[in-house]
Amino acid sequence: MKLPRIMLAAPASGSGKTLITCGILKALVNRGYRTASFKCGPDYIDPMFHSRVIGTRSGSLDTFFTEEKITRYLFGKAAQEAEISVVEGVMGYFDGLAGISTAASSADVAGTLDIPVVLIVNCRGLSVSLLPLIQGFLEFEKPSHIRGIILNQVSEGMYPDLKRMVEEHFPLKVLGYVPRLPELTLESRHLGLVLPGEIEALQEKLQKLAERLEETLDLDAFLAMAAAAPSLEYEAPQVPVLKNPGSVALAVAEDEAFCFTYRDNLQLLEEMGARLVRFSPLHDRELPEGIQGLILSGGYPELHAKALSENASMRASVCRAVRGGLPCIAECGGFLYLHKSLEGADGRDYPMAGVLDAGAGRRERLTRFGYVTLEALEDQMLFEKGAEIRGHEFHYWESGNCGCSMRAKKPLRKRSWKCVHGSETLYAGFPHLFFYSNTKAAWNFLRKCEEASYLC
C-alpha cells in the first residue's frame, strides 16, 4: 500500500524533535491534511502532544516490543486512513538497546518501515563542524534512510551559508531552519515533559509555532519527500475474539493522574471483543457499574496524591472490587494507587486504595528503568509459568513490596530482579506491558473477566 510517511530524528536527545514535530503536525493540520502521528520507543508523553495537535491518539512504534511484521502492521493500520504519517524518533538516531546496540533505535524503526528520515540538527555552537557530523550519520550504517536535514537554533543570516555547505557536500535536501524560540518551549519534570493539559495556552503556542515554521521550513518539499516513500506491505495478525463481542466491559482509568496507556493495547482488547468504559479515579465517586475488569494505567498519581486520597469513596470502591476478585491490571502509577499509602510530591504520605499492604515513596533517582523481558515464575491471571512478555519500567517512586511473581531481565545485560504481584485475578507491578509482544496475555485477561464471579 502507498503510505506517505516520514520520520523526524536527531543526533541526540534535546535537539528539539518534539517541539518541531508538533509544529509541523500543526502546520499540516492547518493545511487540511488528514495526519497520523507516531513516536518511536516506550514513550507516553510525546504522543499526548501529538494527539493534541492532530485530534486523535498517537501511536507507538518499538522494535523491541514487536517483531518486524507486527511493527509494520501497527503502523499500516493507523496510517492507511491518513494522507501523511509523521514519526518522531527517540533519543539519538542510532541509540538502541542497553545503550550498546542499534536494535530498537529510531534507525531500526526506519529500516523496518522503509521510511525517509529528516535529521534535525541542533546547530548551536556549530558551523563547518556540522559537515562531519552529518557525514558520520550518513556513513555509520547503510542505508541510513536519511534524506533531508532541518537546522535548529540557527539565525536567518547564517542559514543560507549552512544550507549551501550541506547541499554541496551531500545528496541531501536541507528543508529549512528553526530559529531560537525561547517563548515556545516545552517544560520538563521527573518523567519527561509536563503534560499538555498543564501548559497554559498550548494551542495558541502551537499555532504560533506552526506559523513560524511555515516561514522557515520548506513544507512542500517535506510533503514530497513523504510522498516518495516506497509502498509498504503489512498483514493483520490473527487474534481470538469473544463469542459475544461487547459483552465484557473493562473500566479504564483515564484522567490527569492516570494517562499512560498504549493505544495499541486498548485497541487490541477492543479487537478481541472488549468494551472499554473510561472513568476517573480523581473525579468519579465509584467504579462504573456493570464492569467485569479493571485497568489502572500508569501516570502521575504522586502529583495528585492528596486529591486521590480525599476521594475516599473511589478508594473504597476499588479496594472492595479488587479484593473481591474483579480482574485487574495495575501498571506503575496504577500499582502505586493500590498501595496502603503513597508519598505525594509534597513529601506527605496519603492513604490510597489499600489493596496491597505496603507503602510507596520517592527516591532521589530513577529506580530500575528501561526495557525488560518479563518471565512468569508461577501461573497467574495473564501468564502460565514460563511465559514471557516485553515491557519497560521508568519511575522515581519505589514500593515497599514490588512482588515476586515475575522475573524482569534487562536486554543485553545480566541484571534481573523479581517483581509483580500476580494472582488468578491480579497483575500489579511497575512494568508497563506491551500486549502485542504476547497477545495471549490480553486474551487471558479477557477470558478471566468473562468468567469472573465479581461484577460491579
Give dist(CA 19, CA 208) in Å, integer.
12
CA angle 84, 41, 85 (to 5 degrees): 0
Measured CA to CA in angstroms, residue 332 lies from 136, 247, 390, 398, 429 at distances of 39, 28, 15, 10, 6
Element (H, E) at 189: strand 188-189
Q: Is 319 a catalytic residue?
A: no
Give dist(CA 219, CA 234) in Å, integer.
28
Residues 6+ apart with CB under 8 A from 293: 248, 249, 250, 251, 274, 326, 327, 328, 329, 445, 446, 448, 449, 452
Catalytic residue, from 22, 123, 259, 332: name it. 332
In this structure, are residues 341 and 351 in contact, taking their beta carbons and an 8 Å threshold?
Answer: yes
Quick one: angle between helices 219-227 and 17-30, nearest 10? 90
269, with CB counted inside 10 A (0-12, 13-18, 19+), is buried
DSSP three-state, residue 45: helix
Q: Which amino acid is at 447?
A: R
Give dist(CA 16, CA 24) in Å, integer.
12
Give dist(CA 421, CA 403) in Å, integer.
5
CA angle 387, 388, 394 (to 5 degrees): 140
DSSP three-state, residue 204: helix
Q: Give the torsion through C-alpha atoms of 73, 219, 18, 201, to 10 deg.
A: -120
Q: DSSP class of residue 450?
A: H
Give dist(CA 63, CA 104) in Å, integer.
5
Q: Which amino acid is at 444?
A: N
State the residue for C-alpha cell 472490587.
321
H helix runs in 257-393, sequence order: 263-271, 305-310, 312-323, 333-337
Q: Is the sign of the CA dihedral 180, 41, 173, 175 positive or negative?
A: negative
The answer, yes or no, to whether the previous bond of 143 is cis (omega within 30 of 0) is: yes
* Residues labelled as active-site residues: 332
